[in-house]
Amino acid sequence: MRATLPLLSVFLSHAAAAPTPLDIASVSIKSERSWLWGWAWGAESTVSVVDRAPILSFASRPAAFGAEINDPILGYVIPLSAFTVPCNASAALPASNTGCPRLCIAGPHQPDPSETWIALVQRGGGCEFVKKVREAQRLGARAVVVGGQDPAISGYPDALVNMFSPEDASDVHIPSTFIKYSDYIHLFSLIANSNTSHNGLRTLSLLITAEYSAWEWYSPIITFVVILLLPSVLTFITLLIHRVRAARAAQRDRAPEDVVHGLPWRVWTGSGWEKHDAAEDPYAETPLVDVAASSSEPPPPPTPPAEPTPGPLPWFDTQVECAICLSEFERGDKVRVLPCHHIFHLAEVDEWLIQRKKLCPVCKADVTQPLAALDALAPDADADASANAEDEDAELVPIPAANSTPGSGSRAASPANANATERTPLLTDEDDS
């Protein structure tokens, strides 16, 4: 208690001279990233020089080993190189304040072990962070501030790092925090030019505070929820991608509505097909005719027979049932004529083409292809079929025996039998006679 009274008197005297009162909460650097950054990397901390106006603060990051910074730490900051030298006489004096190898006190001045003082060291020197903190703890420091290394020498960026220990650090009982190289150089120069001294050593009053976000208490719960939901989320994303790909593949297999509605359609009148324009809406309601009113009117005169026109394919008029519902066409049924000349009930085939496949249910012809493309394939198919038939006929022509003569016991080959094919009758008039 007595050791902290001089520090508090210096702290209160400088705070009274400042234009605004000191608030430890206001000393901390406020940042919008604090809750997310703290949840990802741990709590942030702040190193503030409080014996000057305005208060100068540096962002820092606590180490992953040693004690936690639960309460603000106020003390004198002293570089270890100000009163120590390497214990090994053969070892060269370090060029910077690295805090290693093992140090020994040199000179008549050293910190008072009964008062709170904070050691200032720099990264580098060939030793780990935990060894620097362990050496400062041996010399009596209550906390350690580790500065970054020159980026031009180390090649590391001038940024905050997480200090970890590669070995067991259960013997380290003091807290430590890391500041950037630029902040370390600034703080070191302030100490060198300071008018405040402690036991003959230039120093400054330093305050270390930690910023603990409210989200830190929920981080275990958030981690558990993320681990629990991650497989389900990945499964859902996989199924969603599969469904999207399946929907796109199914869309490619369907026929566009404008193409289907542009196909010709007809109406069965009972004695023939009544052709309609493709632009006419086949789903429009047919107006009803008053039979009583129309029966009093004289019947229309008979129309002369129309000029014969080249009709559809020979099998077109023979289609009397729908291949989809297997029902015969009745009077007034509307049918759709596909480019392959197959006909179906209009509503049924439209649903098939738009919702299922763009292929004819019978011959699997693509209805989105123009009729000319289908007709162009037909002559080639007929030519191939006729060529195959001729080849088969040529293979089935019988070859007369070389030793057969008109007077022999076997029947002589006649000119009619010479060109016999598979369709030639086996019995002829000559055989009957």
Q: In this predicted structure, what is the pLDDT of residue 216?
A: 56
Tell me if 2 sits within 8 A of 112, measured CB to CB: no
Sheet with 334-337, strands from edge to edge, namely: 273-276, 265-268, 334-337, 343-345
Q: In this predicted structure, what is the pLDDT of residue 84?
A: 92
Q: In this predicted structure, what is the pLDDT of residue 402?
A: 46
> Which helix (H) or strand (E) covers residue 294, if one does?
helix 291-295
Span 325-349, average pLDDT:
88
Span 26-34, average pLDDT:
40
**Mean pLDDT: which of 288-292, 311-315, 328-332 is highest?**
328-332
Q: For residue 368, with 0-12 CB atoms within 10 Å meaning exposed, 13-18 middle and 19 or more buried, which class applies?
A: middle
Query: What share of the chain has pLDDT > 70, as a percent?
Result: 61
> Which helix (H) or strand (E) covers residue 208, if one does?
strand 204-211
Distance CA 335, CA 347 (A): 8
Angle at 133 between CA 64 and CA 177, to 5 degrees: 50
Quickly state the pLDDT bin for 357 (edges 50, 70, 90). Answer: confident
Distance CA 40, CA 216 (A): 9
In the chain, the N- to C-terminal Cα span, in Å, equals 148
Span 263-285, average pLDDT:
69
Q: Which pLDDT tens digit goes with each residue over 95-131? A: 568 998 888 988 889 999 899 999 999 999 889 999 9
- What residue ranges in 307-385 does DSSP mark as E strands? 334-337, 343-345
Find how far residue 319's CA is from the centre of its chain.
53
Q: Which pLDDT tens digit goes with each residue over 148-198? A: 999 999 888 999 999 999 999 999 999 999 999 999 999 999 999 999 998
When the pLDDT of each residue in the chain is averaged and rounded to a whole number, the result is: 75
Q: What is the pTM of this model?
A: 0.46
Tell me if 119 sits within 8 A of 145, measured CB to CB: yes
